Chain A
Amino acid sequence: EPEVTQTPSHQVTQMGQEVILRCVPISNHLYFYWYRQILGQKVEFLVSFYNNEISEKSEIFDDQFSVERPDGSNFTLKIRSTKLEDSAMYFCASAGRGYSNQPQHFGDGTRLSIL
Chain B
Amino acid sequence: RKEVEQDPGPFNVPEGATVAFNCTYSNSASQSFFWYRQDCRKEPKLLMSVYSSGNEDGRFTAQLNRASQYISLLIRDSKLSDSATYLCVVAFSGGYNKLIFGAGTRLAVHP
Contacts and interface: CB of A to CB of B under 8 A. Distances in A.
Interface on chain A toward B: helix, strand, loop, or mixed SS?
strand
Size class of the contact patch on chain A: 20 to 34
Contacts of A108: 42-43
Contacts of B95: 56, 100
17 contacts: A31-B96, A31-B97, A42-B102, A42-B103, A45-B100, A48-B96, A50-B96, A89-B41, A98-B96, A100-B32, A100-B92, A101-B49, A102-B97, A103-B34, A104-B46, A106-B44, A109-B42
Given A100-B32, A100-B97, A43 B92 contact: no
A34 B66 CA distance: 28
Contacts of B44: 43, 91, 106
Interface of A: 31, 33, 35, 41-45, 48, 50, 55-56, 89, 91, 93, 95, 98-109, 111
Interface centre among B31, B43, B94, B99 (most CB of A within 10 A): B43
B6 to A, nearest CB: 9
B110 interface: no
Interface residues of B, number: 26
A100 B97 CA distance: 4
B101 interface: yes
Interface centre among A50, A55, A99, A107 (most CB of B within 10 A): A99
Given A45-B100, A55-B96, A100 B91 contact: yes
